[in-house]
Structure 1
Amino acid sequence: MRIAVLSGKGGTGKTFVSVNLAVTAKNAICIDCDVEEPNGRLFLKPEESVTEEVYTKLPQVLEEKCIGCRKCVDSCRFNAMGFIKNSPLVFPEVCHSCGACSLLCPTGAIYELKRPIGIVERGRNKEVQVITGILNIGEASGIPVIQNALDTKITEKSIMIIDCPPGSACSVMESVQTADYCLLVVEATIFGFHNFKMVYELVSLLQKPCGVVINKGDYTYYPLINFCKENNITILCCIPYQEKLAQIGANGEVASEKDDETRMIFSTLLDKIRMEVRE
């Protein structure tokens, strides 16, 4: 089973939910796809980590073969190429490595070089396999790193927890493509509710079953409750804000390993998700 954990904004508690679910499930794979700011490993502290570099392909131009036909420039849907002084110019920051320019060049003037854009780190914390995607600073797209991190075999008995990037951009869509169930973490605030609706729209478009975890839910926020009722979205649990949880997090520890009440919350949550997936 693959569970994608999403949130409409940063700081909602997505990673908190992800690492606690993984530790509670025990035989789990926890993949941090928040490649611009991965922090699940700060809590899971994987050992015996192995690092793999992730590359994309960047077009290069052989000017002596170029005839100035502009087919490469005109074919680039991402506007990653320009034509300056009778020669194509590549803009690496917006290139999506689709290969169209080299494929359409009639003279073979364009070839591709590997360009490193990030790494994937694989390690283990007891019964949890920890996989972390890390994008190099300044890179525009982390999708190749996410794809590499998600390219992980899963057995029938194991559970994969996917800690998605915040928001609803392309990187989030890539993270949830293979998910069996989406867990939407939301704060009971106006801002949190607004962004939650965008994430819900995304998972609805992808036709993914989903449920809601209200984090730091110290009071009943009726617009959120009513929205979930109107759209038949299951509210799986509400985690109250507690000073002890904040202290455990500040110490870089996993709450379900340190607090019996939190362990029970996530054990019950995991059982509810299993039931939702079976239905």
Structure 2
Amino acid sequence: MKIAVLSGKGGTGKTLVSVNLASVSKHSVYVDCDVEEPNGHLFFKPTELKKEKVSIKIPLVDEDLCIGCRKCVDFCKFNALAAVLDKLIVFEEVCHACGGCILLCPTNALTEKDKAIGEIQKGVSDQVKVISGILNTGEESGVPIIKQLLKDINDESNPVFIDCPPGSACIAMESIRDADYCILVAEPTIFGLHNFKMVYELVKIFNKPHGVVINKCFDDENENLIEKYCNEQAIKVLSKIYFESELGKLNSNAEIASRKSEKYKLMFTSLLQTVIEEVPHETVTHS
């Protein structure tokens, strides 16, 4: 069972929900796909850390074979190649490693070399396996790291909780590709509603079963913009997390609330049970 946790913007509570669900699930796997700014490890503080580099293939030019035909330059939509005075220059920082330039080269002047773009860290926190992807500063795309992260959990028998990147860009799409269920975390503000709609459209495109956790609720007397929208669109509201100083303090101190408070342990255990009931039955049975 793979549960992806998304949000339309940063700071909504995506990691709060992810780490606590993984924690109350006991034997589970937490995967931090927010490779540009991973912070799940700050909460779990994993031990027995193992690190592995993630590399991509980028073009390497053999100047003796290059005839300056510019076919590769014209092909590259990311402007990662340029021909200056019949000399081919590769701008590694913007190369997307698609390999098209190598296929097109009529003289085989282009081959491939490895370029490290980040790393994957694996550790253990209590009974949770913690896996984090970290993109090197200045790199163009974290998609290759996310692909490797999700490849590593293909054969995982325990429940997997995927902490997705915020927003609805390519890295978020890659994170939910193999998910069995998506939890959308939203905050009840105008800005929060705007960004929630974008990520809601994303899960609909991928045809993923989904539900919503509304975080930072104040009370039930004032109008809740997210809840109103969910009711209008017939979107399942899984839970509402109320704005409380105790929870805010625990989260700000990078503490896993469900491990520090019986109250929050019960809250996230209840949320987990609700999610399990929503996940397609065959998926839960298989996991």
TM-score range, shorter chain: over 0.9
The Cα offsets for residues 48-95 of structure 1, whole Å up to 9 and x where unpaired, read as 010000101111211111111222122223332222212322222221
Distance in 2, Cα, partners of 1:138 & 1:18: 27
Equivalent position of 2:18 in the other structure: 18
Asked if 1 retains the 8 angstrom alpha-carbon contact of 2:120 and 2:149, the reply is yes
Q: 1:96 to 1:248 in 2, by over 3 A?
A: same
* Matches for 1:76-225 after TM superposition, within 5 Å: 76-153=76-153, 157-219=157-219, 220-225=222-227
Asked if 1 retains the 8 angstrom alpha-carbon contact of 2:189 and 2:225, the reply is no
Asked if 2 retains the 8 angstrom alpha-carbon contact of 1:189 and 1:221, the reply is no
Q: 1:190 to 1:248 in 2, by over 3 A?
A: same
Aligned-pair CA distance for 1:155: 5.7
Aligned-pair CA distance for 1:26: 0.9
CA RMSD of aligned residues (A): 1.4
Equivalent position of 1:231 in the other structure: 233
Equivalent position of 1:259 in the other structure: 261
The Cα offsets for residues 187-230 of structure 1, whole Å up to 9 and x where unpaired, read as 01111111000000111111111100011111344432222122
Q: Which structure 1 residue ranges, 5 or more long, are not aligned?
A: none
Asked if 2 retains the 8 angstrom alpha-carbon contact of 1:183 and 1:213, the reply is yes
Aligned-pair CA distance for 1:252: 2.2
Asked if 2 retains the 8 angstrom alpha-carbon contact of 1:18 and 1:30, the reply is yes
Q: Secondary structure at the match of 1:122?
A: strand
Distance in 1, Cα, partners of 2:248 & 2:37: 20
More displaced stretch, 94-103 vs 8-17: 94-103
Q: Secondary structure at the match of 1:194?
A: helix
Q: Secondary structure at the match of 1:216?
A: strand
Asked if 1:242 corresponds to 2:244, the answer is yes
What is the TM-score of this pair, normalised by structure 1? 0.96
Letter in 1 for 2:273: D
Distance in 2, Cα, partners of 1:161 & 1:192: 23
Q: 1:272 to 1:155 in 2, by over 3 A?
A: farther
Q: Which structure 2 residue ranges, 5 or more long, are not aligned?
A: 282-287
Aligned-pair CA distance for 1:156: 7.2
Distance in 2, Cα, partners of 1:221 & 1:261: 26
Aligned-pair CA distance for 1:100: 1.1
What is the TM-score of this pair, normalised by structure 2? 0.93
More displaced stretch, 217-226 vs 106-115: 217-226
Distance in 2, Cα, partners of 1:142 & 1:221: 38
Letter in 1 for 2:98: C
Q: Secondary structure at the match of 1:151?
A: helix
Q: Secondary structure at the match of 2:4?
A: strand
Distance in 1, Cα, partners of 2:76 & 2:229: 42
Distance in 1, Cα, partners of 2:246 & 2:153: 36
Aligned-pair CA distance for 1:157: 4.9
Aligned-pair CA distance for 1:258: 1.0
More displaced stretch, 83-92 vs 184-193: 83-92
Aligned-pair CA distance for 1:154: 5.3
Distance in 2, Cα, partners of 1:108 & 1:155: 38
More displaced stretch, 230-239 vs 217-226: 217-226
